[in-house]
């Protein structure tokens, strides 16, 4: 990398930190508090839904910042992705895991919204929930699994981010580019 990319790196890292931290805190803290304080499953769902609804705009901004920063870093490091051995593979893995984390986050929100509608005391929400048959027990079971997949996937992105940082060391770049050149030209061994 020839120049500094502090702004895009910060967007990338802060967005990922908020996405990971928010999903982990929600699964542990918010959902745990809802289970502890809610007298019934409906009350628990209402407490958790209210907290998650407050988090959605922050989470969306964090994910957007991460994706924007990631795109900027990819553009800034395109030469390394193409020339340094190992960088394309870790970038591909990071892209696949990011897509999985996005899909899992969206699915968690869909499940949460279903549970929110089914547990709402608002007549409009209740009417909407009855209009679209919602198996709340099934949605709760699925959400119980999915809520842990988001921090697992985003935590994996944190680890891959650390790997990318290590791959940027000058000695790693030289060795990676040398290995790539050797693999493309067998006579250089």
Q: What is the pLDDT of residue 1?
A: 41
pLDDT at 137 over 90: no
Q: Hey, what are 30's tokens?
A: 């918010």
pLDDT at 63 over 50: yes
Q: What is the pLDDT of residue 174?
A: 63
- Report yes or no: 140 and 157 within 8 Å, Cβ to Cβ: no
Confidence of residue 172 (pLDDT cuts 50, 70, 90): low
Q: Where are the domains of the chain?
A: 6-180
Which pLDDT tens digit goes with each residue over 32-56? 999 999 889 888 888 999 999 999 9
Q: At CA 13, angle to CA 170 and CA 113, rounded to 5?
A: 150
Distance CA 29, CA 140 (A): 17
In percent, how much of the chain has pLDDT > 90? Answer: 58
Distance CA 164, CA 59 (A): 24
Q: Hey, what are 33's tokens?
A: 């508090």
| Higher-pLDDT residue of 117, 180 | 117
The predicted model gives 118-144 an average pLDDT of 74
Confidence of residue 128 (pLDDT cuts 50, 70, 90): low
Distance CA 108, CA 153 (A): 13
């Amino acid at each position: 990398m020839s120049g500094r990319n502090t702004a895009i790196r910060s967007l990338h890292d802060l967005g990922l930190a908020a996405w990971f931290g928010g999903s982990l805190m929600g699964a542990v803290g918010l959902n745990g508090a809802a289970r502890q304080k809610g007298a019934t499953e409906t009350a628990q769902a209402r407490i958790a839904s209210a907290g998650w609804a407050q988090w959605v705009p922050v989470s969306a901004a964090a994910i957007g910042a991460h994706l924007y920063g990631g795109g900027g870093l990819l553009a800034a490091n395109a030469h390394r992705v193409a020339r340094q051995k190992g960088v394309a593979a870790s970038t591909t893995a990071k892209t696949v895991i990011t897509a999985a984390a996005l899909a899992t986050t969206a699915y968690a929100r869909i499940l949460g919204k279903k549970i929110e509608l089914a547990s709402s005391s608002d007549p409009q929400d209740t009417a909407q929930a009855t209009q679209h048959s919602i198996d709340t027990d099934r949605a709760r079971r699925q959400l119980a699994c999915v809520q842990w997949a988001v921090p697992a996937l985003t935590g994996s992105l944190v680890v891959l981010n650390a790997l990318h940082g290590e791959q940027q060391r000058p000695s790693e770049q030289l060795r990676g580019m040398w290995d790539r050149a050797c693999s493309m030209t067998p006579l250089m061994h």
